[in-house]
Amino acid sequence: MSAASDKARFYLERHAPALNAYARQKIFSPEEIHSITAKRSHFEHILAARGSKPSDYARYAEYEINLSTLLKKRCQRLGVKGVKGYSGQRTVFFILERGTKKFAGDVGLWMQYVRFCPSEHASKKLAVVFTGLLRLRPREWGLWVLAAKWYAEEQGDMRTARGYLQRGLRYCKDESKLWLEYAKLEMVYLAKLAARRKILGVGEEAKVESVGEEDENLITLPTITAADIEPEAGKGMEGVDAAALQRLADAPAFTGAIPVAIFDAAMKQFGNNVEVAEDFFALAAEFDSVPSATKILRHILTHLQTLSPDSPEAIVCGARMLLFAVDVLSAEFPAALGAALSKIKTGIAALPEKQKAVLAEKSVLMLVPYLSAKSDGAEIDEDVQTVLVVSTNRYLRKVSTTPKSRVSKALVEESKGKGRLSAEQILEVVRSVKGQG
């Protein structure tokens, strides 16, 4: 026990100069300083003794974070520039480093470290933390996504973000969600570029580029980095000017070649799984503002129709393609909706009974979002809404009793109790399910 006490005393003595400065500058009263010392002593003795837990380090770090916040407010109110020899950031880093070194396998403690670094604008420290965490947990696909998103969204560094996801796919190549997150990262990037081009009035014409071949470990992507857009990529998207964006018009990164390459590589990995292909289609369909989205969707749809033209996934994706980027309040929507419903009707008639239920469920999930569509205060046409409601109810009657989607399951149960559902009842069920989730 004496060794533990000596260790605790060693760490406590490091704070002595700062505590003396608190008293000298009257930032804290003697009673408050005594309370701070007692609290730190309590934590240090727990950490030094046997049986300490990751939660002990987490609570100690949280206490120091709160103390640092209080100290900054006191200094601001009293007009004190700072306390010499004390850095709340450094103190918290030291506690979390000790904790993650002792409990390297505790993800919760690592995540507290990850969350703290951005709050202190400690980019270099966060890069070190990500490296240490991913070395210990390479099979945690969500951690690769977290690191990639931080570099892409906070640092504006797509090259590093892609690098993280490329390495993540080496360890988690069997995780379809990681492939989808990689594609989503690229689609978000394309959406940002498209928005910037629109603001600057740059033309949106683009040429289609071919996709490179992949080796056994990596997806070979077209050569494009954040530096191609702006040498100081760390400044983010706001640093991209009109000339740089015009040069990007013919670049593979802008024409959608990278999402296509990711999709093709995923299809090889998952043996042309039609459900994975449908997930890619649904993801790309969310980005109707991206000029190259149509090209990406057509590539996925062509692959699906070549692979399994009579599958529910290929049929519903074909119907969604007819509705893609068509404003629900526009004059073109009724014709597009009619064509989509006709495609589904033809598809259902040709499918076996079990597959009919699958396509019916997918059709319900496709139609429901259009019921609540509004634009500039205008609501969907009454006749169009009637068609959507009637079609939704028709397909609900064909859905099996155990659908995969929570939304369709809830709608099926509701329709059994009330019969034909109105638009309001359908939307109420959808809202309740999303509220529970």
In angstroms, the Cα distances linking 53 to 20, 50, 60, 61 are 31, 9, 11, 13
pLDDT in tens, 46-80: 999 888 999 999 999 999 999 988 988 888 888 87
pLDDT at 72: 87
175: nearest Cα among 146, 214, 141, 216? 141
- pLDDT higher than 50, residue 227: no
pLDDT at 228: 42
Secondary structure of residue 357 in the 3-state scheme: helix
DSSP alpha helix (H) spans, 201-251: 226-229, 242-247
User: CA 344, 346, 352: angle at the middle one, nearest 5?
Assistant: 95
> Distance (Å, rounded) from C-alpha 148 to C-alpha 169?
12
What's the rounded mean pLDDT across residues 317-333? 92
Higher pLDDT: 82 or 432? It is 432
What percentage of the chain has pLDDT greater than the value 90? 49
Residue whose tokens read 């859905």: 399
pLDDT in tens, 394-403: 898 888 777 8
What's the rounded mean pLDDT across residues 125-132? 93
Query: Predicted confidence band at 245 (pLDDT cuts at 50, 70, 90)?
Result: low
What's the rounded mean pLDDT across residues 349-377? 84
155: nearest Cα among 89, 257, 97, 239? 239
pLDDT at 230: 41
> Distance (Å, rounded) from C-alpha 99 to C-alpha 417?
55
Residue whose tokens read 């850095």: 87
pLDDT in tens, 409-422: 888 887 877 778 88
Q: Are 375 and 327 in contact (CB under 8 A)?
A: yes
What percentage of the chain has pLDDT greater than the value 70? 85
Sign of CA dihedral 292, 298, 301, 306: negative
pLDDT in tens, 158-181: 999 999 999 999 999 999 999 999
- pLDDT higher than 80, residue 206: no
Residue whose tokens read 């240490």: 132
Query: Predicted confidence band at 212 (pLDDT cuts at 50, 70, 90)?
Result: very low
Q: Are 94 and 116 in contact (CB under 8 A)?
A: no
What's the rounded mean pLDDT across residues 301-307? 95
- pLDDT higher than 50, residue 1: no
What's the rounded mean pLDDT across residues 258-263? 94
Q: φ and ψ at 375, to 5 degrees? A: -155, 120
What's the rounded mean pLDDT across residues 326-350? 92
Query: Predicted confidence band at 316 (pLDDT cuts at 50, 70, 90)?
Result: very high
pLDDT at 198: 79
Query: Predicted confidence band at 237 (pLDDT cuts at 50, 70, 90)?
Result: very low
- Kindly state the DSSP code that residue 358 receives in the 8-state scheme: H
pLDDT at 209: 39
DSSP alpha helix (H) spans, 172-238: 176-200, 226-229
In angstroms, the Cα distances linking 166 to 160, 228, 276, 400, 414 are 10, 19, 19, 39, 44
Query: Predicted confidence band at 406 (pLDDT cuts at 50, 70, 90)?
Result: confident
pLDDT at 318: 95
Which residues touch 65 (CB under 8 Å, ≥6 apart)?
A: 88, 92, 116
pLDDT at 285: 95
> Distance (Å, rounded) from C-alpha 24 to C-alpha 8?
25
- pLDDT higher than 80, residue 338: yes
pLDDT at 210: 41
In angstroms, the Cα distances linking 388 to 340, 394, 415, 424 are 11, 10, 15, 12
- pLDDT higher than 80, residue 110: yes
> Distance (Å, rounded) from C-alpha 209 to C-alpha 253?
9
Chain centroid offset of residue 224 CA = 22
Mean pLDDT of the chain: 84
> Distance (Å, rounded) from C-alpha 163 to C-alpha 381?
47
